A and B are shown apart, each in its own frame.
Chain A
Amino acid sequence: MVPLSYYLLLSAVLFACGVAGFLIKRNIITIFMSIELMLNAVNLSFVAFAAHWHRLSGQVFVFFVMVVAAAEAAVGLAIIISVFRTRDTLNVDSVNLLKL
């Protein structure tokens, strides 16, 4: 049986990768993927704990996160497409109309 700590370690590494990607990358699509990566890193630790403690609530939580992530992906991709259509770029640093 794989010990719990392995899952948690993997989850932390994945989350760190997501954070790093979020901070470094300029492309909106990549940033978006980084966010998904972070969400799923958290999901991994949820299911790991659920399996370890034999509780279902962790798995239920993961379903909720997936539902929200799906909705977010739908809305987010739509926004990304409309941004690309209006501004011809996916670089977040040039999408700064609201900045002073």
Chain B
Amino acid sequence: MNVNLHLWMIPLLPLAGAAINGLLGRHFPKRLVTVVGVAFVTASLGITWWVAAQLWGMPLDAIPHTERLAPWIVAGNFSADFAFYLDQLAMVMLLVVTNVGFLIHVYSVGYMAEEGGYYRYFAYLNLFMFFMLTLVLANNYLLMFIGWEGVGLASYLLIGFFFTRDSAASAGKKAFIVNRVGDFGFLIALFLLIQHFGSLNFDKVFPAVSQMNPETAGAGLLTAVGLLLLFGACGKSAQVPLYVWLPDAMEGPTPVSSLIHAATMVTAGVYMIARSNVIFNRAPKALMVVAIIGCITALFAAVIGMVQTDIKKVLAYSTISQLGYMFLACGVAAYSAGIFHLMTHAFFKGLLFLAAGSVIHALGGEQDMRRMGGLRREIPWTFWTMTAGTVAIAGIPPMSGFFSKDQILWKAWSSPYGSWAYWLVAIFTALLTSFYMFRLWFMTFLGEYRGNATHGHEPAGQEQHAHEGHIHESPAAMLVPMAILAILAVAGGYVGVPNALGGSNHFDKFLAPAFKVSAEAMPAGTSQGEPPSEAAAERSQEGNIELVMTGVSVGAALLGFFFAWLLYQRRRDLPDRIAAGLNGFYDAVRDKFYVDEFYQAVIVAPLINGASRVLWRGVDMAGIDATANDSAASARDVSDTVRHMQSGNIRSYAGWVALGAAAIVGYMTWMGLR
């Protein structure tokens, strides 16, 4: 059975939207721009659902389903096609991207209504959808790389959307350049794959890799490929050490932060690692590095997030931290747990950003939480949806974040690649996550209003969203997507309730075939395989441990809530006193551990100095330019002297000729006499 699913339409429809709006949108009325921008994404969404329905009915051996659209590069034995690859993993990503993407398009209609460059915004957003869907659907690493670069481009364009603001323009550049650093690793990994397998197609590389024995043949190669892919993923998914661009990326419009820098693009690295699970499973060292990087990032970003005062910066660090969780899951070979968290994170973090955007919208552009507070009565819809998102990310049952985070925690402990250290870091991070999210929640919505914006009588100054001048609830175009995402954030976890809690983990089972090859290939030495006879007993015992751990993680979340309540509701004087008590440490955390300054001093400044002093002034100006200029100057000087010979006086020429002839004759005579 070989049905044609017309997968090519899914990415190409948004591209058509981007082309129409981008080329002609300037002359369109606003309403038409809206229709074009949203309609093409809606069509793409519809097809995705249809494809999902088809995939559901397919026999398992028909998956992965590949569709070849056109040949692209054919060079000798190497070839790469415009071809699409659909399996369970791609399906989940497709659904996440198109659904969240669609909701955020709708939200943008309300959020961006007052902004200039409306058509440009939708053109970029559609362009992003095209590249993201290409990335997800690609059947070879090269096409994936095109999508990978394309989303980076769209991200750059949208971060710098308010390009008249200098900080936005430089944030865009920073994001792009930091991503390039990661892409460098990705590219080298691709070169290694081409060199050793002669192909980048998933259906050629993965079977070839699964033939290899991790203990002997190709272990070094696969480890190298894995580490380089990880490096690429670190750039795109904002992991230590390349995370620095994501907090700055908050300069973009908030829906962009939500779609690109929380829900979809930044998860591309996780997707790529999950997609390459065949490679990673045969490179245990690379896997370990993935897990360690995930742990460090999760903890590090959560600590910084605790003391940020910009509402979007808190969410940005939270995103980095949650991406660290996903990396940790991938690093212990629990890919489906990682993808599960990716999905629930897309729901609740997308929602949190949208709600934050709604808050900012309501306050006329105010982003500093110290000047918020008491907003729950003013903007109740935003408050309730944000509450859903906050509870979900904090991991309090029965919200979606609880199930996905719990699975990662459990896998970090129980997986053959897992370790108690991973679990300890992850559980501590869960505590911090709960704390900083509830801190945000308390500071924004509870207590007394601390801002100077106006309850209806004073104009709110010249901020961007100050079109009404008082705190107001957002329009329906913004609230409805938030409400839908809130429902998903609450209920989205039920597709993956683990066995220990009486569920059957449909999500894991659905994704299992995509990771099946890898499960078989787990190295026997590292897995703590149990004999079949004891399996049942082990399982019930494991179930008990899992339950205990679930309890611990819920406890951590509640503890975080308690601290946030204590510090930001009950005893508001405490935070400052604690900060004063911690002396320099608090300042270091608030200033993000001076990582940006460190990079500036260690990498950027030497690069600029090296480029300007050595390469520009030294090599280019003193070397190359000077050679050309000096030789020209010396030629001119010589000519200046010699040109006096050319007097125009015939007899002086004749004199020179005679002199020359005399010199020659004299020379020859002298030589003859010698």
Chain B 614-655 interface 0/1 with A at a Cβ cutoff of 8 Å (1 = within)? 000000000000000000000000000000000011110011
Q: Which residue of chain B has its CB nearest to the CB of A31?
A: B651
What is the CB-to-nearest-CB distance from A94 to chain B, in angstroms, rounded to a whole number?
12
Residues on the A chain within 8 Å of B654, using CB: 22-23
Q: Quick check: A23 and B658 within 8 Å, CB to CB?
A: yes
Residues on the B chain within 8 Å of A19, using CB: 658
Residues on the A chain within 8 Å of B650, using CB: 92
Q: Quick check: B648 and A99 within 8 Å, CB to CB?
A: yes
A99 to B649, CA, bound (A): 9
Q: Which residue of chain A has its CB nearest to the CB of B647?
A: A99
A22 to B659, CA, bound (A): 13
Q: Quick check: A22 and B651 within 8 Å, CB to CB?
A: yes
In chain B, positions 645-674 with a C-beta closer than 8 Å to chain A are 648-651, 654-655, 658
Which size bracket describes the interface of A in this complex? under 10
Main secondary structure of the interface of A (DSSP, over half): helix
A30 to B299, CA, bound (A): 107
In chain A, positions 2-31 with a C-beta closer than 8 Å to chain B are 19, 22-23
Q: Quick check: B651 and A23 within 8 Å, CB to CB?
A: yes
Q: Which residue of chain B has its CB nearest to the CB of A96?
A: B648
What is the CB-to-nearest-CB distance from B93 to chain A, in angstroms, rounded to a whole number?
81
Indicate whether A97 reaches chain B with its CB closer than 8 angstroms. no
A23 to B654, CA, bound (A): 7
What is the CB-to-nearest-CB distance from A35 to chain B, in angstroms, rounded to a whole number?
10
Q: Quick check: A23 and B648 within 8 Å, CB to CB?
A: no
What is the CB-to-nearest-CB distance from A65 to chain B, in angstroms, rounded to a whole number?
18
A99 to B648, CA, bound (A): 7
A86 to B382, CA, bound (A): 108
Q: Which residue of chain B has its CB nearest to the CB of A26?
A: B651
Residues on the A chain within 8 Å of B658, using CB: 19, 23
What is the CB-to-nearest-CB distance from B401 to chain A, in angstroms, rounded to a whole number?
91
Q: Which residue of chain B has its CB nearest to the CB of A98?
A: B648
A22 to B650, CA, bound (A): 10
What is the CB-to-nearest-CB distance from B98 to chain A, in angstroms, rounded to a whole number?
81
Q: Quick check: B648 and A100 within 8 Å, CB to CB?
A: yes
In chain A, positions 49-100 with a C-beta closer than 8 Å to chain B are 92-93, 96, 99-100
A58 to B246, CA, bound (A): 97
Asked if A92 meets B651 with Cβ closer than 8 Å, knowing A19-B658, A23-B658, the reply is yes
Q: Which residue of chain B has its CB nearest to the CB of A22?
A: B654
A72 to B654, CA, bound (A): 19
Residues on the B chain within 8 Å of A99, using CB: 648
Residues on the A chain within 8 Å of B651, using CB: 22-23, 92
Q: Which residue of chain B has its CB nearest to the CB of A24?
A: B651
Interface centre among B648, B651, B654 (most CB of A within 10 A): B651
What is the CB-to-nearest-CB distance from B417 to chain A, in angstroms, rounded to a whole number?
90
A99 to B651, CA, bound (A): 13
Residues on the B chain within 8 Å of A93, using CB: 649
Among A23, A92, A96, A100, contact of B655 (Cβ-Cβ < 8 Å):
A23
In chain B, positions 410-453 with a C-beta closer than 8 Å to chain A are none
A93 to B649, CA, bound (A): 8
Q: Which residue of chain A has its CB nearest to the CB of B661?
A: A19
Residues on the B chain within 8 Å of A96, using CB: 648
Residues on the B chain within 8 Å of A22, using CB: 651, 654
A59 to B165, CA, bound (A): 96
A92 to B650, CA, bound (A): 9
Q: Which residue of chain B has its CB nearest to the CB of A19?
A: B658
Residues on the A chain within 8 Å of B655, using CB: 23
A87 to B211, CA, bound (A): 103
Interfacial residues, chain A to chain B (CB-CB below 8 A): 19, 22-23, 92-93, 96, 99-100
- Interchain residue pairs with CB less than 8 A apart (13): A19-B658, A22-B651, A22-B654, A23-B651, A23-B654, A23-B655, A23-B658, A92-B650, A92-B651, A93-B649, A96-B648, A99-B648, A100-B648
List 7 extra interface pairs beyond A23-B651, A100-B648, CB under 8 A.
A19-B658, A22-B651, A22-B654, A23-B658, A92-B650, A93-B649, A99-B648
Smallest CB-CB A-B distances: 9 pairs? A99-B648, A19-B658, A23-B655, A23-B651, A23-B654, A22-B654, A100-B648, A92-B650, A23-B658
Interfacial residues, chain B to chain A (CB-CB below 8 A): 648-651, 654-655, 658
